[in-house]
Amino acid sequence: MAMPAQAAALAVPGNMGDVRRSNLALVMGRIARQPAGVHLTRAHVAATTGLTKASVSSLVVALLDAGLVRETGLNPQGERGRPGVGLELNPARAVMGMEINVDYIAAGVTDLSGTLLLREVRERDNRDSEPGPVVAALAALAASLRVEATGRGIQIVGGGLAVPGLVDPARSMVLAAPNLGWEGVPLDLAALLPGSPLGVALFNEANAAALAEIARRPAGDADFLFVSGEVGVGGGLVIGAELFTGPAGHAGEVGHVVVDPGGTRCSCGGTGCLETVAGQDAIFAAAGMAGLPVTRSAALAALLSALDSGDPGARAAVDRAGRALGVALASTARVVNVGSVVLGGHFAVLDQWLRAPLLASLEKYAPGKFTPGQLTVTAVGDPGALLGAAGSVVRSLVEAPHLLQA
């Protein structure tokens, strides 16, 4: 719920409890947004949120009781007047991010400020795998991290799982993950974090990575498209610092924008999709690297050295991918009106080779829409999906602190 000046018609009556929850979120958000280590007092919260000191005091008590916030010592530096009691996010609460990908599973723990405390990646070939054992292995990994966290006095209150495919979060289902060979797979998310108050949320990998980017961008720069380059090409659309997933939950899928109407068949059944030109397998094949190193990171390294040594096939393949990406981004920019793009996956790795053809293509198909500065590379990198999945739990907690109230 949102409560301010503009009222939107809703299906549910509002009451005073909603005011309380809204203001609780306001105070929680203020505390969460405070830079780490900078003293923040009730008085300052009141002054910056517009709430009265009396209300803030009452709301902070609720947050303390819920264990979301902690009091630190008094203001250390000598200022006039009574020193205020410091407030910060409770470091004894944390969330778990988890990821299932083609070559590995991973789990990590972040505190409520988004700092990564623990992380563990287990290599594992999940191609054409059975979902059951993969999820069981991830549950075991998560359990071990949880034990480690508990040993440090840290409670895991919830988690998020990122999967490389189309998901239906509402039904906890993986609708289609071609690279895992999963289709219509229901997941027992609760088993990943048994008994955690907030449970486990499910995300598409590119969407989770996009969420992780949000926190790492300058404030106000809250609209962008994250493009994830893996075997497939995924996308996460962020508008107003919110993930925009569209009516059916799969918006931002820039990998299947048509970039070549006369092109080749895509695994999705379509024709000339971006993925058929700029996906990892497509680039490797076009560069004449078919049947080369098994792992993707090795293949990428091989491609990079081929590019460095001036291999014409490799250069042409990347050039073509860059131009195609430009076509897709130009169209996307028109339809959803975003002017900033963040490149992830192999697009980030290949940035120096990709950038020139991509910018040229953007200028040709959407002149004036993009400046080079609006085309950036992921600030998070590999653990992006994991951090984003974890961060989403933090975010839901900041927006609805009452979820953890007694």
Q: Interaction with DNA in 7-66: which residues (CB under 7 A)?
A: 13-17, 19-20, 23, 41-44, 50-55, 57-60
Q: How far is the CB of 118 from its own copies (least distance, A)?
A: 27
Strand-pairing partners, residue 204, are 163
The position carrying tokens 């005091």 is 57
248 binds, among its own copies, DNA, none (CB under 5 to 8 A by kind): its own copies
The site that binds DNA (CB under 7 A) totals a number of residues, namely 31
The string of DSSP codes covering 212-237 is HHHHTSPTT---EEEEEESSSEEEEE
Q: How far is the CB of 153 from DNA (least distance, A)?
A: 25
44 binds, among its own copies, DNA, none (CB under 5 to 8 A by kind): DNA
Site for its own copies (CB under 8 A): which residue of 7, 38, 294, 406? 7
* Alpha-carbon gap, residue 214 to 224, rounded angstroms: 9
In sequence order, which ranges of 227-376 are alpha helices (DSSP H)? 275-278, 280-286, 296-308, 312-336, 346-349, 351-365
Q: Dmax over Cα atoms in the chain, in whole Å? A: 74
Window 366 to 395, contacts with its own copies (CB under 8 A): 366-368
* Alpha-carbon gap, residue 14 to 140, rounded angstroms: 43
Reading the block at residue 138, the tokens are 């991830």
User: Residue 373's CB: how many other CB atoms inside 10 A?
Assistant: 7
Site for its own copies (CB under 8 A): which residue of 1, 64, 121, 143? 1
If one asks whether residue 309 binds DNA (CB under 7 A), the answer comes out as no
* Alpha-carbon gap, residue 75 to 69, rounded angstroms: 17
* Binding mask of the shown chain, residues 76 to 115, with x at each position contacting DNA by CB under 7 A: --xxxxxxxx------------------------------
Window 190 to 229, contacts with its own copies (CB under 8 A): 222-223
Site for its own copies (CB under 8 A): which residue of 184, 261, 291, 373? 261
Site for its own copies (CB under 8 A): which residue of 267, 331, 374, 376? 331
Please compute Rg for the chain using Cα positions: 23
378 binds, among DNA, its own copies, none (CB under 5 to 8 A by kind): none
Window 222 to 241, contacts with its own copies (CB under 8 A): 222-223, 235, 237, 239-240
In the bound state with its own copies, the residue whose beta carbon lies nearer, of 51 and 180, is: 51
Q: How far apart are the first and last CA of the chain?
A: 20
398 binds, among its own copies, DNA, none (CB under 5 to 8 A by kind): its own copies
Contact criterion met (CB below 8 Å) for 164 and 100? yes
The string of DSSP codes covering 95-139 is EEEEEE-SSEEEEEEEETT--EEEEEEEE---TT--HHHHHHHHH
User: Residue 97's CB: how many other CB atoms inside 10 A?
Assistant: 31
Q: How far is the CB of 41 from its own copies (least distance, A)?
A: 18
Residues contributing to the site for DNA (CB under 7 A): 13-17, 19-20, 23, 41-44, 50-55, 57-60, 74, 78-85
